[in-house]
Structure 1
């Protein structure tokens, strides 16, 4: 007997609500991972990923059977050898994770840091570039809502000859990404973020230059599961490597097609519109942007500093009783901020109207939903 579950309003910075097309694709009958139909599907996914990433035609794209953190780890496992100089940009939890992973793979890690809530400064990267084999940066730092200046950083790295790895977990698929034009060598995201597909896949893009560096390795890749050659054996040569989650491929394909059909510029505008309306609605309560510089605010994760005396855990707990999930701060920002997801299907008016009406009730504050709707209304001609 089917169990009826209450509808949940998921407003977190990942996972995001599953796109209806992706949800329908999950119900397709199972096929074997070596089936010709699956290989044809995979080719379409690879082509669509090149479009999403703005990648060159010879860029290798694939899906790793794991979350975005596997995408992060696969880059270091394949492109870093013990003793390599690696420069990691750290201004939040996920930049710090990059530094830890690179260290575990034997790299000599140098860190360029910026305080939480502030972007990485290109001048600070330029000062430490000498001798780096690889530079790693998080495009959108999910833990703080900061957008790092990847185009400016990439221009510096290009001149140094180092490889550039970019964590695009909260950017790719929701706004234009220009892998080829910027000179990014390795990029990855998670299916459950901007694309609103189920968790469990990490879409990656690997440049021809990254493959050349991989081919010149002195030692075998320590991570067999995501060895670049093994991935290429399955995705390009159609030979067995490991069993891929076929139905997740179907769901990702559907979500990716929906994103590209909508258009990345349109999705970017949608996130910006919802984010701006939310700030206007919550400002009278004392919510303020955590990131001071407007150009450094991540459009897909709205980080808002909480009003003085606001009961963070208590309010979020009462919202959860109403089946509304909101995420607080991570690490040093716990109890200080809310992080509201504006990726994929979360960046819609309906779920945030649900939140604002619930806050009106819980806080005894009227007008939140009305201000939100007024901010969304088109400006009269």
Structure 2
């Protein structure tokens, strides 16, 4: 066995993302009990920082679920949907479809508003199906296709109604504008391993007062005990035992979230835009083109690029993997058609993408790719 240090892997996937150095350092802290006063103090800071990240009202309940972003998705339906409720789900990719499946499993009568892959959900299509609906659920940034859905406009449709709005913010919160209070979102969730570059294993959620009131009015107990909102509040607000939380993941998440807020949301948004533009400039002469046609509908944090004609998707990605570079292809109908390049958190930095450009030059026998990338980023503070 070699004693040499392992080569650092270049992770350019749409999640997980490379860990922030402050998160790595926090993981090395000695273990504390989940009921330790120091852990509760860190949890308090996490809750306050999550309110800032999500743009919530000052007293909004926030917490970390002990699981990945999919648990965040499921907890919303488990707590806020009862058998027979009418739920409208926006589906234009794999994760919208997952929302619809989960809502059905919790007894909802699911209506679906669809849009073709590569296109955003149309606000007028949502408006046409709102009658009698108790909840609307939408993915803000559809990871599977690189599409940004019009959440603020959908939220505006629900103003003055009793209809709750659930938003999957997995590829947006912490890196893109998100205004829970201003828009009128009732339940939002993400995954630690996405825009915040923390380890996977905790799901940050924010729950509005309207959502908590809906939960309190349930006719039956929440079927998912593990993430019952009342049990969450027992631990996070009342400091009572509920379950053993992953303490070291809390440490790492706390450090990563604070690093993001220290950098500033506006700076992070600019960094993503400029990195995405530079990547497209570098790859366009090779035949890569945006998969999402309307620029306003492109998700900045997951750059979906249509592959050049005749491009060996599987072969090139395998060759990149042998060079310790991970790139993700399409999912389902877009397999072999697109690449999905992650631009969340620490992935949205020049160094890892410069490594990709250099490798592509070699594998494709093309020169000038890295130079175009560097030129596009010249003078940009990223």
The answer to whether the superposition gives a TM-score over 0.5 is yes
Indicate yes or no: 2:117 matched with 1:116: yes
Q: For residues 177 and 367 of structure 1, what CA distance do their matches in structure 2 show? A: 37
User: 1:131 Cα shift?
Assistant: 0.5
User: 1:175 Cα shift?
Assistant: 1.9
Any residues of structure 2 matched to 1:157-176 within 5 Å, and which?
157-176=158-177
Indicate yes or no: 2:118 matched with 1:141: no
Residue 197 of structure 2 is matched in structure 1 by: 196
Contact 1:187 1:206 in 2 (8 A): yes
* TM-score, length-scaled by structure 2: 0.98
User: 1:183 Cα shift?
Assistant: 0.2
Residue 354 of structure 2 is matched in structure 1 by: 353
Q: Secondary structure at the match of 2:310?
A: coil
Q: Secondary structure at the match of 1:160?
A: coil
Q: Deviations over 1:45-89 (max 9, x none)?
A: 000000000000121000001000000000000000000000000
Residue 131 of structure 2 is matched in structure 1 by: 130
User: 1:157 Cα shift?
Assistant: 1.9
Q: For residues 350 and 4 of structure 2, what CA distance do their matches in structure 1 show? A: 28
Gaps of 5+ in 2: none
Any residues of structure 2 matched to 1:219-298 within 5 Å, and which?
219-298=220-299
Gaps of 5+ in 1: none
* TM-score, length-scaled by structure 1: 0.98
Q: For residues 254 and 6 of structure 2, what CA distance do their matches in structure 1 show? A: 27
Residue 31 of structure 1 is matched in structure 2 by: 32
Residue 65 of structure 2 is matched in structure 1 by: 64
Q: Secondary structure at the match of 2:311?
A: coil
Q: For residues 251 and 278 of structure 2, what CA distance do their matches in structure 1 show? A: 34
Q: Secondary structure at the match of 2:84?
A: coil
Contact 1:130 1:160 in 2 (8 A): no
Indicate yes or no: 2:367 matched with 1:374: no
Residue 334 of structure 2 is matched in structure 1 by: 333
Residue 183 of structure 2 is matched in structure 1 by: 182
User: 1:345 Cα shift?
Assistant: 0.1
Count of residues in correspondence between the two structures: 379
User: 1:3 Cα shift?
Assistant: 7.4
Residue 82 of structure 2 is matched in structure 1 by: 81
Taking only aligned residues, the RMSD between alpha carbons, in angstroms, comes to 1.0
Q: Deviations over 1:9-45 (max 9, x none)?
A: 0000000000000000000000000000000000000
Q: For residues 330 and 158 of structure 2, what CA distance do their matches in structure 1 show? A: 31
Contact 1:52 1:176 in 2 (8 A): no
- Distance change >3 Å, CA 263–CA 133, structure 1 → 2: same
Residue 107 of structure 2 is matched in structure 1 by: 106
Q: For residues 58 and 84 of structure 1, what CA distance do their matches in structure 2 show? A: 28
